[in-house]
């Protein structure tokens, strides 16, 4: 009888161990390979090394900043995280450093203008690039349920998007720009065209400075230093955090 009870206990113990092992396998977090959207990463039960304390620090202490890193370093994920943060998607930040930012009494979700310049068509003429930038701007306006004018001038359209968004929501706007230099770097072997594209981008980005009173926060990323590009010459309040050791672990593996 004693041996039967002992065998039953052993079988029960082995069953519990087997159950726990299977449960732990099912609970194991996945690596977010190929995922560059913060919301998808969090909802897909993926591994996420909490970088959000750096984002909150930038919001609190910098305001308008530039961050350069090579491709595949997580810049787009950072942009997406900022977008979710300012949109007030609190459920995505549960247990993360930025959760306290969303709990602040003065926090209010607000409109975000997020421009991915890698979407711009660059294999056509300069006019096609202008049309592509206008199309991207209009697409963002539609997502924000804003009607823009029929102007074909990218800079004017961008300025209109900023002011119209701020007026509609009666609050300042967040601007996030990913791959700011993509339209330009596509023409590294064509200096004449590269110069024309740079002038176009300079006029487009200058609208950030001229609409400063409507801005809550600005974050710009790319692979090349903006001082070498010269497209941000009018943004004298833009802070380059790229070489700052304080933000060295904000993107990528460490």
* Structural domain contains residue 8: no
Number of domains in the chain: 1
* Across 52-60, average pLDDT: 96
Check residue 104 and give its pLDDT.
94
* Structural domain contains residue 206: yes
Segment 166-178, tens digit of pLDDT: 999 999 999 999 9
Segment 4-14, tens digit of pLDDT: 556 666 666 66
Answer whether 41's CB lies under 8 Å from 77's CB: yes
Q: How many CB atoms lie within 10 A of CB 213?
A: 8
Q: Is 251 a residue whose pLDDT tops 90? A: no
6-10, 17-21, 40-44, 100-104: range with lowest mean pLDDT? 17-21
Check residue 197 and give its pLDDT.
92
Q: What is the CATH number of the domain that holds 137?
A: 3.40.50
**Cα 62 from chain centroid (whole Å):** 16
* Structural domain contains residue 217: yes
* Structural domain contains residue 32: no
Q: Is the dihedral of CA 63, 66, 69, 72 positive or negative?
A: positive
15-24, 67-76, 165-174: range with lowest mean pLDDT? 15-24
Q: 192 or 253: whose pLDDT is higher?
A: 192
* Structural domain contains residue 22: no
CA–CA distance, 134 with 155 (Å, rounded to integer): 9
Mean pLDDT, the chain, integer? 87
At 219, phi and psi to the nearest 5? -135, 125
What token pair was written down for 115?
Answer: 């421009």
Position of tokens 């459920």? 91
Is residue 35 very low, low, confident or very high in pLDDT (cuts 50, 70, 90)? Answer: confident
Q: Angle 215-152-226 (CA atoms, 0-180°, nearest 5)?
A: 50
Quote the domain boundaries for residue 136. Answer: 50-247
* Structural domain contains residue 27: no
End-to-end Cα distance, the chain: 59
Q: Is 202 a residue whose pLDDT tops 60? A: yes
Answer whether 172's CB lies under 8 Å from 214's CB: yes
The model's pTM is 0.85
* Structural domain contains residue 70: yes
Q: Is 25 a residue whose pLDDT tops 60? A: no
Q: What contacts 187, CB < 8 A, 6 or more positions away?
A: 122, 193, 194, 197
* Structural domain contains residue 18: no
CA atoms within 13 A on the CB side of 237: 15
Segment 130-162, tens digit of pLDDT: 999 999 999 999 999 999 999 999 999 999 999
């Amino acid at each position: 009888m004693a041996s039967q009870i002992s065998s039953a206990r052993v079988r029960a113990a082995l069953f519990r161990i087997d159950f726990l092992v299977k449960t732990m396998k099912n609970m194991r977090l996945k690596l977010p390979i190929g995922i560059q959207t913060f919301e998808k990463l969090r909802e897909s039960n993926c591994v996420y090394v909490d970088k959000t304390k750096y984002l909150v620090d930038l919001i609190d202490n910098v305001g308008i900043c530039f961050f350069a890193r090579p491709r595949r370093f997580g810049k787009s994920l950072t942009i997406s995280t900022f977008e979710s943060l300012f949109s007030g998607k609190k459920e995505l930040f549960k247990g993360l450093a930025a959760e306290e930012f969303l709990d602040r009494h003065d926090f209010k979700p607000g409109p975000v203008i997020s421009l991915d310049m890698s979407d711009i068509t660059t294999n056509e003429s300069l006019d096609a690039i202008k049309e592509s930038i206008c199309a991207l701007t209009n697409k963002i306006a539609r997502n924000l349920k804003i009607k823009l004018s029929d102007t074909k001038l990218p800079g004017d359209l961008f300025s209109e998007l900023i002011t119209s968004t701020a007026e509609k929501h009666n609050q300042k706007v967040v601007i996030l720009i990913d791959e700011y230099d993509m339209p330009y770097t596509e023409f590294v072997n064509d200096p004449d065209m590269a110069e024309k594209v740079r002038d176009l981008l300079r006029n487009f980005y200058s609208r950030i400075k001229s609409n400063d009173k409507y801005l809550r926060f600005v974050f710009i990323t790319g692979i090349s230093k903006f001082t070498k590009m010269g497209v941000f010459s009018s943004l004298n309040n833009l802070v380059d955090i790229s070489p700052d050791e304080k933000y060295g672990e904000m993107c990528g593996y460490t």
